[in-house]
């Protein structure tokens, strides 16, 4: 008994009330039922305080009522026969009341305790709990339910459930049936409804999920219902986040899959965990072949630990280059240039659990980079060589000018000293030859590079070609006093080629041998038959060539000694020309040398013309000054020096020469003079050489006149143009004396001595 004082007080009060009531009823009842009101007091005492106060009330009440209301009143005397039955009846009745009362009290206390336990349980549950009675009125709300619904327990209790627990469908916004009411009605457990939103007391909405179960008493009667629900705002948010994450992940996955870059995920241990479609394209392995393998699968042996090192440094928090160009290996074993980006993959705690690698195939980029680099380098080199070449060219052109002007001065002041004049002439001849060679070489190289050099191929004797080459170089050979040995095969060897160009090729080699050998050196020109080829070697005891230069010696403008103050003249074109000319004749040339100071050898191999020569070739016209008859010649050139010097030369060889300085004069003079030969410049004032030629040809007297173009333009197209204009020949300035004599010798002899026809 928790509150005994209160219980005994109530018992005492009930006893007093019972006695008073009996006393009040006494006039009505008299001696009848003297103990009747005590039963109520005993019942009250047992209900409030249990059997102890009830026994006390029953005992004390009996004594008091016996004294007051049982005959003889005012005494406690017990008449055995009169009072025994009444006492027994009283005791039995009190015992029954106390028994029932005590049982009810215990049952009620137990029910109370159970309810309290339930309430404590409900209160400690994380979910919201609402209980109702059988009529659907609220009997209880736990604290969570209070906070979710916004209703306090004391406000809610007694309210119909619909008032406190208002729910709608989240999507349709329509009220939905309350699960508790169905549980009450049907006595079944009603599960969760999806998308349920609770309208709280202040009108805000909260997504919940809920379920309801009927409360049944011992007899199975539905005495109420318990409704359990929870606020799922957070869960919904989490679900939404998950859905968003999932959508993002799917999007990322599709981006990764459709990426043109290989994207690979590896674990910390370097195991490949994912492999996109592009990775297959770049490295050749399918995802099935690659996933689960170690990343060394695509690492070249010499870079085996490259990525491990990057990963280790990332994990150690050390700075690292995560983007670099490197090489990987494809499934077919081919190396592949890639641009690689490595990024760490971290878990939620920030710990590195692996790495993602994005690899881009940069083979093509690399190639074009290298190509561009090679081009940007080649251009620089070309530019450098151009500058060097221009400097060399200027130097080479200036070189002969000093001796030329000196020689002129000497001639002016020689005062009839024939020896001096002869020496000066020799010097001038050498220098002019040198300059002509320079310009010719330049033009020839340009023609060959532009594939414009035309060979006039014919059957030609090797001996003639070599003889001509030796002849070309004779002045230099003589001045350097070399000992030159020439060995030719005993039998005649014929080539199919351009005699002029073949001689040029050999004269370049001889010229170099003379040039790059100290005076009084030894030069050997040997030629021998080797199978269907003839091999010609030009060997010297000269300065030799460093081994490193040998492979490049035939390249344009290549010179071992590039110093402008080098002792030898030249533009670095001679060997280029020789090589190209030899190759145009299906031959080969190679350079040999044991190194500086140990001489050089150039070996030319040319195919021999197999067919037998048809008898003897008539010898070419011999050039002899005395054999040339006197001619009437018109020289036309607007450059007076050029015109007059040529006139002098021609007059010195016994010809009659007239001069004209423009195209109109030329036509007039031709008509007046009727010359055997007109040497006509092309670039003339008033009327150019072509038109002047045409006009002359239009005249009856000009039809058979020999007209030769004399010009600085020597390309094939220039020759064609002059031929079209009606010229008989095309000579390139400066015309050598020999060529001039050859031309005169080739003029028809019947012209000689023919009287000049004057028009009109």
Q: Are 557 and 445 in contact (CB under 8 A)?
A: no
Nearer to ligand ADP, 127 or 540 (CB): 540
Nearer to ligand ADP, 211 or 504 (CB): 504
Stretch that binds ligand ADP, among 10-18, 292-300, 565-573, 668-676 (CB under 6 A): 565-573
Which residue is closest to ligand ADP by CB? 570
Q: Calculate the CA 496 to chain-centre distance.
A: 55
Nearer to ligand ADP, 197 or 392 (CB): 392
Question: Smallest distance, Å, CB 468 to ligand ADP?
Answer: 18
The angle that helices 640-652 and 737-746 make with each other, rounded to 10 degrees, is 60
Stretch that binds ligand ADP, among 10-18, 244-252, 416-424, 566-574 (CB under 6 A): 566-574
Residue with tokens 């607007």: 638
7: tokens are 């219980």
Q: Are 311 and 268 in contact (CB under 8 A)?
A: yes
For residue 253, CA distances in Å to 244, 259, 268 come to 14, 10, 21
570 is an interface residue for ligand ADP by CB under 6 A: yes
What is the distance between the alpha carbons of residues 280 and 126, in angstroms, rounded to a whole number?
53
Question: Smallest distance, Å, CB 705 to ligand ADP?
Answer: 42
Q: Are 584 and 709 in contact (CB under 8 A)?
A: no
Give 472's contacts (C-beta < 8 A, 6+ positions apart): 503, 504, 507, 510, 511
604 is an interface residue for ligand ADP by CB under 6 A: no
677: tokens are 């030969």
Residues 428/433/434/437 CA torsion (nearest 10 deg) = 160
Q: Give just the sign of the alpha carbon dihedral 89, 95, 100, 105.
A: positive
Q: Are 148 and 208 in contact (CB under 8 A)?
A: yes
400 is an interface residue for ligand ADP by CB under 6 A: no
Question: Smallest distance, Å, CB 481 to ligand ADP?
Answer: 17
**Binder among 224, 497, 572, 675 for ligand ADP (CB under 6 A):** 572
Question: Smallest distance, Å, CB 542 to ligand ADP?
Answer: 5
DSSP string, 348-397: TTS-EEEEEEEEEE-HHHHHHHHHHHHHHHHHHHHHHHHHHHHHHHHHHH
Nearer to ligand ADP, 484 or 731 (CB): 484
Residues forming a β-bridge with 589: 604
51 is an interface residue for ligand ADP by CB under 6 A: no
Nearer to ligand ADP, 398 or 717 (CB): 398
Stretch that binds ligand ADP, among 45-53, 304-312, 346-354, 570-578 (CB under 6 A): 570-578
Nearer to ligand ADP, 303 or 447 (CB): 447
542 is an interface residue for ligand ADP by CB under 6 A: yes
689: tokens are 């050489």
Binding track over 475-514 against ligand ADP, x by CB under 6 A:
---------------------------------x---xx-
What is the distance between the alpha carbons of residues 643 and 520, in angstroms, rounded to a whole number?
40
Nearer to ligand ADP, 568 or 723 (CB): 568
Question: Smallest distance, Å, CB 607 to ligand ADP?
Answer: 24
For residue 39, CA distances in Å to 104, 378, 392 come to 16, 131, 149
**Binder among 10, 164, 543, 725 for ligand ADP (CB under 6 A):** 543
456: tokens are 């006039």
What is the distance between the alpha carbons of residues 633 and 612, in angstroms, rounded to a whole number?
43
Nearer to ligand ADP, 522 or 742 (CB): 522
Question: Smallest distance, Å, CB 545 to ligand ADP?
Answer: 5
**Binder among 19, 145, 545, 709 for ligand ADP (CB under 6 A):** 545
Nearer to ligand ADP, 328 or 579 (CB): 579
Stretch that binds ligand ADP, among 111-119, 261-269, 539-547, 611-619 (CB under 6 A): 539-547
Residue 50 falls in which region: left (phi positive, over 0), alpha (psi -120 to 50) or beta: left
Question: Smallest distance, Å, CB 438 to ligand ADP?
Answer: 9
Secondary structure class of 667 (helix, strand, coil): helix
What is the distance between the alpha carbons of residues 448 and 33, in angstroms, rounded to a whole number?
159
**Binder among 90, 151, 506, 516 for ligand ADP (CB under 6 A):** 516
Nearer to ligand ADP, 395 or 697 (CB): 395
What is the distance between the alpha carbons of residues 564 and 40, in angstroms, rounded to a whole number?
148
559 is an interface residue for ligand ADP by CB under 6 A: yes
438 is an interface residue for ligand ADP by CB under 6 A: no
**Binder among 560, 606, 666, 670 for ligand ADP (CB under 6 A):** 560
Nearer to ligand ADP, 225 or 509 (CB): 509
The angle that helices 689-698 and 663-673 make with each other, rounded to 10 degrees, is 30
Q: Calculate the CA 545 to chain-centre distance.
A: 46
Nearer to ligand ADP, 527 or 722 (CB): 527
Residue 707 falls in which region: left (phi positive, over 0), alpha (psi -120 to 50) or beta: beta
Question: Smallest distance, Å, CB 756 to ligand ADP?
Answer: 49
**Binder among 575, 679, 705, 740 for ligand ADP (CB under 6 A):** 575
Question: Smallest distance, Å, CB 735 to ligand ADP?
Answer: 24
**Binder among 148, 295, 358, 553 for ligand ADP (CB under 6 A):** 553
Helix (H) or strand (E) holding 219: none
**Binder among 270, 574, 689, 702 for ligand ADP (CB under 6 A):** 574
Strand pairing of 166-169 and 138-141? unpaired
Question: Smallest distance, Å, CB 509 to ligand ADP?
Answer: 7
Stretch that binds ligand ADP, among 187-195, 316-324, 380-388, 543-551 (CB under 6 A): 543-551
What is the distance between the alpha carbons of residues 606 and 589, in angstroms, rounded to a whole number?
9
526 is an interface residue for ligand ADP by CB under 6 A: no
Question: Smallest distance, Å, CB 435 to ligand ADP?
Answer: 13
Nearer to ligand ADP, 212 or 584 (CB): 584
Question: Smallest distance, Å, CB 484 to ligand ADP?
Answer: 13
Secondary structure class of 244 (helix, strand, coil): helix
Give 505's contacts (C-beta < 8 A, 6+ positions apart): 469, 577, 578, 581, 582, 589, 604
Nearer to ligand ADP, 244 or 561 (CB): 561
Beta strands in 382-481 (DSSP E): 458-461
**Binder among 180, 215, 445, 571 for ligand ADP (CB under 6 A):** 571
Question: Smallest distance, Å, CB 742 to ligand ADP?
Answer: 28
Q: Are 43 and 97 in contact (CB under 8 A)?
A: yes
Question: Smallest distance, Å, CB 513 to ligand ADP?
Answer: 5
Total site size for ligand ADP, rule CB under 6 A: 22
Question: Smallest distance, Å, CB 531 to ligand ADP?
Answer: 27
What is the distance between the alpha carbons of residues 678 and 695, in angstroms, rounded to a whole number?
13
558 is an interface residue for ligand ADP by CB under 6 A: yes
Residues forming a β-bridge with 344: 355
**Residue 520 burial by Cβ neighbours in a 10 Å radius (0-12, 13-18, 19+):** exposed
**Binder among 498, 540, 637, 681 for ligand ADP (CB under 6 A):** 540
Q: Are 314 and 352 in contact (CB under 8 A)?
A: yes
Q: Contact positions toward ligand ADP, by CB under 6 A?
A: 508, 512-513, 516, 540, 542-545, 553, 558-561, 570-576, 600
């Amino acid at each position: 008994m928790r509150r005994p004082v209160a219980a005994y007080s109530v018992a005492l009060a009930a006893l007093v009330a019972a006695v008073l009531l009996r006393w009040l009823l006494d006039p009505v009842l008299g001696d009848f039922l003297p103990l009747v009101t005590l039963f109520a007091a005993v019942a009250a005492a047992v209900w409030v305080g249990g059997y102890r106060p009830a026994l006390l009330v029953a005992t004390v009440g009996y004594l008091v009522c016996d004294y007051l209301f049982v005959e003889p009143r005012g005494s406690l005397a017990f008449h055995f026969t009169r009072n025994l039955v009444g006492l027994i009846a009283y005791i039995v009745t009190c015992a029954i009341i106390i028994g029932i009362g005590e049982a009810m009290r215990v049952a009620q206390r137990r029910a109370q305790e159970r309810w309290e336990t339930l309430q404590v349980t409900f209160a400690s549950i994380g979910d919201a709990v609402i209980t109702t009675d059988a009529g659907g009125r609220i009997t209880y709300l736990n604290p969570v339910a209070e906070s979710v619904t916004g209703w306090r327990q004391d406000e809610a209790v007694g309210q119909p459930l619909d008032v406190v627990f208002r729910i709608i469908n989240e999507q349709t916004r329509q009220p939905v049936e309350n699960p508790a009411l169905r549980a009450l009605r049907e006595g079944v457990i009603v599960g969760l409804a999806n998308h349920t939103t609770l309208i709280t007391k202040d009108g805000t909405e909260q997504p919940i999920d809920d379920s309801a179960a009927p409360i049944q008493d011992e007899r199975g009667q539905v005495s109420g219902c318990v409704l359990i629900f929870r606020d799922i705002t957070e869960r919904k948010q989490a679900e939404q986040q998950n859905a968003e994450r999932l959508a993002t992940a799917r999007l990322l996955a599709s981006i990764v899959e459709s990426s043109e870059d290989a994207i690979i995920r590896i674990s910390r241990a370097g195991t490949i965990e994912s492999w996109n479609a592009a990775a297959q394209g770049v490295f050749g392995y399918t995802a099935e072949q690659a996933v689960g393998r170690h990343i060394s699968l695509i690492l070249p042996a010499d870079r085996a630990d490259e990525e491990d090192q990057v990963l280790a440094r990332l994990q150690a928090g050390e700075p690292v280059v995560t983007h670099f160009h490197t090489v990987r290996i494809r499934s077919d074993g081919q190396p592949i240039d890639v641009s690689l980006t490595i990024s760490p993959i971290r878990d939620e705690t920030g710990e590195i659990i692996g790495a993602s690698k994005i690899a881009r195939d940069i083979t093509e980029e690399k190639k074009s980079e290298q190509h561009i680099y090679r081009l940007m380098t080649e251009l620089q080199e070309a530019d450098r060589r151009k500058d060097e070449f221009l400097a060399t060219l200027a130097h080479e052109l200036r070189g002969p000018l000093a001796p030329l002007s000196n020689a002129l001065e000497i001639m002016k002041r020689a005062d009839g000293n024939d020896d001096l004049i002869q020496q000066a002439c020799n010097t001038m001849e050498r220098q002019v030859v040198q300059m002509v060679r320079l310009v010719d070489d330049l033009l020839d190289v340009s023609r060959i590079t532009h594939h414009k050099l035309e060979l006039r191929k014919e059957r030609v004797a090797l001996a003639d070609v070599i003889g001509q080459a030796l002849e070309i170089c004779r002045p230099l050979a003589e001045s350097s006093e070399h000992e030159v040995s020439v060995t030719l095969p005993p039998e005649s060897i014929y080539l199919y080629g351009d005699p002029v160009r073949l001689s040029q090729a050999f004269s370049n080699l001889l010229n170099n041998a003379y040039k790059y050998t100290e005076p009084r050196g030894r030069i050997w020109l040997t030629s021998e038959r080797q199978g269907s080829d003839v091999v010609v070697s030009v060997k010297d005891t000269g300065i030799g060539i460093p081994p490193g230069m040998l492979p490049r010696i035939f390249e344009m403008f290549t010179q071992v000694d590039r110093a402008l103050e080098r002792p030898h003249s030249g533009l670095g074109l001679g060997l280029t020309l020789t090589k190209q000319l030899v190759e145009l004749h299906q031959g080969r040339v190679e350079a040999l040398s044991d190194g500086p100071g140990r001489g050089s050898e150039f070996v030319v191999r040319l195919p021999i013309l197999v067919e037998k020569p048809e008898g003897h070739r008539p010898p070419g016209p011999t050039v002899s000054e005395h054999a040339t008859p006197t001619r009437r010649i018109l020289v036309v050139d607007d450059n007076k020096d050029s015109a007059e010097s040529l006139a002098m030369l021609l007059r010195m060889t016994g010809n009659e020469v007239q001069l004209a300085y423009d195209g109109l004069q030329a036509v007039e003079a031709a008509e007046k003079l009727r010359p055997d030969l007109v040497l006509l410049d092309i670039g003339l004032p008033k009327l150019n050489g072509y038109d002047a030629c045409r006009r002359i040809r239009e005249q009856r007297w000009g039809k058979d006149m020999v007209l030769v173009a004399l010009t600085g333009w020597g390309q094939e197209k220039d020759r064609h143009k002059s031929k079209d204009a009606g010229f008989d020949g095309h000579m390139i300035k400066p015309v050598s004396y020999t060529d001039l004599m050859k031309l005169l010798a080739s003029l028809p002899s019947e012209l000689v001595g023919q009287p000049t026809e004057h028009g009109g």
